[in-house]
Structure 1
């Protein structure tokens, strides 16, 4: 679907979504469109497909950027290790360059856990129990009843 395939009213709705307009204004714009319901379904389907394509593209871009960030983090660690090795190999703790100074210093203390099973409980953080909704749904689908939960069936629009 190309943007030019949308009528100006639906293109305006898409622009409002992309600009972050409030939903009430967008609802007013949609209500003002006097197309037949079949035409509205087609045009709204085009808007929805455009939004879904944008979501997919953004997810892919997020992953690409996260991968790139991780690569830079890895390379930074590698270069620091290399520089530390170079300083250690010449027996120096600090070297001043024209622009930067590099020095080896102690990192903050950290813990190396050798066997977590034998550590006293006072060093563990209590975790709140987390509800397993999938397991609960499966239990209810088997015909079991439980106070505090019931199966809910909602409806939503699917565009095909």
Structure 2
């Protein structure tokens, strides 16, 4: 199976890399290591322990919502981001990173205001958007950024 025919998908539960045929991404799939579903239709919680696996190793773009519990607009956008995950998976992985708990990662991406969404592919920042957005705007922005990445 060639690289074009498959994608590396990082498990949202154990952070193991799984090779999945591109044609079967929409069918979901299970992790070869832990047996859990590779796609859950909801954002995963990103931490220092799993961030690099998702940001660097996977073939799927990673859309990260940098947020904090004290941030009103962050709390307001949380349901919209969760709704966007249902639409955007399996073409990209969505994750939430608490900037208070993971200050080093927030610093690595120079997060100055929250909520901020950063689209990452293979460790490289592709696009960034600050401010709360409704679900459809998140989907349109993320899909547009991925399309621009393909050019």
More helix by proportion, 1 or 2? 1
Shared fold by TM > 0.5? no
User: Which one has a larger percent strand, Structure 1 or Structure 2?
Assistant: 2
Higher gyration radius (CA)? 1
Structure 1-normalised TM-score?
0.17
Highest RCO, 1 vs 2 (Cα 8 Å, sep ≥ 6): 2
